[in-house]
Amino acid sequence: MKAVTIARFGGPEVLEVRELPKPEPGPGEVLVRVAAATVNPTDLSLRSGLRRPDLPPPYIPGMELAGVVDQLGPGVAGLRTGDRVMAIVVPTRPEGGAQAEYVRVSVDALAEVPPGVTLEAAATMPMNGLTVRRAFDLLALPSGATLAITGAAGAVGGYAIELGKALGYRVIADAAPKDEDLIRRLGADDVVGRGDDVALAIRDKVPAGVDALLDAAVQGSIVLPAVRDGGQVAAVRLFQGEPERGIRIHQVMVTEYAHNGTALKELAQEAGAGVLTPRVAETFPPEEAGEAHHRLMAGGVRGRLLIVF
C-alpha cells in the first residue's frame, strides 16, 4: 500500500510516498481503506522533528481520516466491511498515522459517517472536533456563559464556535476583516478584530471579562486581560505566560480523547444534524504531501487540506 512517510526530519521535501505492507487489523481493530486524511499543524511538528517519537523511521504522519471498513479484526462486532467511518489515530504509535491507503483503527477511535456527509468532509472532524470537546469538558461552562475564541477562522476555532453555540454559550470570536463573514456564518454572537489587541476588543464587548477563552491562535499571556477574575483559559499548546487574577489555565491534549468513541459519535451526529460544518480547503494526492505542508505553513488556509487516496 501507499503511505506518506517521513524517513528523516526536515522541511516538506523529506515527505515521500513509500510502498509498505498492507497492515492486518488486531483484536478490537478494523482496517480502514482511507479515502482522505487531513494535514494539520501537528504534522508539521512531527515532520520537522519537534515531536520525535522513540521509534525507528519511517514515520507515517496524520491524526485523522475517513474511509470505508476493509476488514474486521478478531472480536469486532457492530461494524461491517464497506461501512463509512471517520477516525482519530495517534501517529507516534508503532503502526504510524493516518496518511496511508490502509490504516488500523481501534473501534473506540472511530464513528460511522452520517449520510449526507462526504468522506472528505468527515476526515476534517475527528481530531479538531475532539480537541474542542476536550477543551469544553475541561472548562465545564454552564449554558449562557461567555466564551471568547482566538484563531476562530481555523479548524479548532471554527468547530469551537459551532459547538459552543450548540451548548448555549455567548461566543465572542476574533477575525481578520476578510474572515468576518465566515465567523458570523459559523454563528459567533460578536466578532472582534484579531491580533495583539484582541483582549481589549473582547473587553469592549464583555466589560466584566469573559468566563473562558479558547486560545486556538496560541497567543498566550496577551489574551489574559480578556478573561474575568477567576475565569478560565483553554490552551491548545503549552501556555506562554503566568496565570493572573485566579485565572485557571487548562492544557488541552486531544490524545486524552483518542479513545473517546462516545464523543466521536456525538461529533458525527452533530455533523449529520448540520450543527458542525466541516470545511475542506483543497485536496492533494499523496505524492504532493510536501506541497500541502508548504500551503499550511504559509498561513491563511481556510478549511482543511486533505491527502486523498
Ligand X SMILES: NC(=O)c1ccc[n+]([C@@H]2O[C@H](COP(=O)([O-])OP(=O)(O)OC[C@H]3O[C@@H](n4cnc5c(N)ncnc54)[C@H](OP(=O)(O)O)[C@@H]3O)[C@@H](O)[C@H]2O)c1
Binding residues (CB under 6 A) for ligand X: these are 40-42, 128, 131, 150-151, 153-157, 174, 194-195, 216-219, 236-237, 252-254, 299-301
Identify the three-state secondary structure at position 273: coil
CB of 105 to ligand X, least distance (A): 18
Region of residue 262 (left: phi > 0; alpha: psi -120 to 50; beta: else) = alpha
Nearer to ligand X, 30 or 89 (CB): 89
What cell numbers appear for 163 in the block?
459547538
Nearer to ligand X, 19 or 256 (CB): 256
CB of 302 to ligand X, least distance (A): 7
CB of 256 to ligand X, least distance (A): 8
Q: Which residue is nearest to ligand X (CB)?
A: 154
The H-assigned helical ranges of the chain are: 41-48, 119-123, 126-139, 155-166, 180-186, 198-205, 261-272, 289-298
CB of 143 to ligand X, least distance (A): 24
Phi, psi angle pair for 135, to nearest 5°: -60, -45
Nearer to ligand X, 30 or 130 (CB): 130
- What DSSP designation does 189 have? S
How are beta strands 210-215 and 190-193 bridged, if at all?
A: unpaired
Nearer to ligand X, 68 or 90 (CB): 90
Nearer to ligand X, 69 or 201 (CB): 201
CB of 230 to ligand X, least distance (A): 24
Contact 296, 41 (CB under 8 A): yes
Residue 130's nearest CA partner among 105, 104, 98, 163 is 163
